[in-house]
Amino acid sequence: MQQIYSHQDINGQYLPFPAGKVVCIGQNYADHIAELNSVKRPEPLFFIKPNSALCAVEASFEIPKHSGVCHNELELAVLIFKPLKNVTPEHVNAGIWGYGLALDLTLREVQSKLKKQGRPWELAKGFDGACPISPFINKSEIEYPQDIDLQLTVNGQSRQKGNTKNMIRGINQLISQMSQHFTLMPGDVVLTGTPAGVGPLKCGDKLELSLSSAKSNWQFNSTVR
Ligand code: ZN
């Protein structure tokens, strides 16, 4: 049976918000746009993963076995704890509880096919377990969220390395823009885009996800099932 996911903080305490929707932005780092041979567009590309996509990243998570290549996309995740609707960038911070790391798992072959057909992406990015996520660090512990180093290593080899200062749209700007279309509710999660280095995951891969800010460093370990 699938385990029910709940948001947790870094000390393993459950947080008193439901696991909500996951609002994501595609193509928010220039180096990732280049690796997909895509082009930068003036309008942001938003999409949503349902709450059934959420699962804990720590210890292990499962990938689909019969749907072609499943890519890692390591992203800074933002946990919302107050409703945000039509907010300006200056008002976003009041609605943020904290930060964590997520994998925006992507069935790349399925996605390419859907893109070619002009169809939406849910089958490639919204399946059960498509958003393994870490516990959340309260925002009081991260002084400069727009200067966080993110890293993913797979079997001891660095695969993705980025810094949130290289986002095309900064965290507050992109959440403000999202809130013009989708009200963000307590327990919703925002994914902020992936830096370069996406690649195929396979069963048995050992992952290390790390997040470093000026003062501290957090690490989460996992195995792909
Ligand atoms: Zn992504």
pLDDT over 90 at 182, yes or no: yes
Per-residue confidence at 75, pLDDT binned at 50, 70, 90? very high
For the chain, give the percent of residues with pLDDT over 70.
99
pLDDT over 80 at 12, yes or no: yes
Mean pLDDT score across all residues of the chain: 94
Q: What is the pLDDT of residue 1?
A: 42
- A 10 A CB-CB count for 102 gives 27
Distance linking the first and last C-alpha atoms of the chain: 15
Token pair, residue 83, equals: 């409703």
Centre of ligand 1 to C-alpha 73, Å, is 5
Centre of ligand 1 to C-alpha 198, Å, is 9
Angstrom CA distances, 208 to 84, 125, 136, 157, 214, stand at 32, 21, 16, 10, 20
**16-33: average pLDDT:** 91
Long-range CB contacts (within 8 A, 24+) of 178-183? 178/23, 178/25, 178/46, 179/84, 179/85, 179/86, 179/87, 179/92, 180/86, 181/46, 182/21, 182/23, 182/46, 182/48, 183/83, 183/84, 183/85
Q: What is the pLDDT of residue 3?
A: 60
Centre of ligand 1 to C-alpha 191, Å, is 7
* pLDDT tens digit sequence for 89-118: 999 999 999 999 999 999 999 999 999 999
Per-residue confidence at 31, pLDDT binned at 50, 70, 90? confident
Give the burial string for 121-146 (b: 16+ CB within 10 Å, else e): bbebbbbebbbbbbbbbebeebeebe
Residue with tokens 């798992």: 105
Q: What residues have their beta carbon closer than 5 A to ion ligand 1?
A: 73, 104, 194
User: For the chain, which domains are there?
Assistant: 22-224 (3.90.850.10)
* Distance from chain centroid for Cα 31: 17
Centre of ligand 1 to C-alpha 74, Å, is 7
Residue with the bigger pLDDT between 39 and 128: it is 128
Centre of ligand 1 to C-alpha 87, Å, is 23
Triad 155, 208, 50: Cα angle to 5°: 115
Per-residue confidence at 2, pLDDT binned at 50, 70, 90? low
Contact 172, 93 (CB under 8 A): yes
Centre of ligand 1 to C-alpha 29, Å, is 10
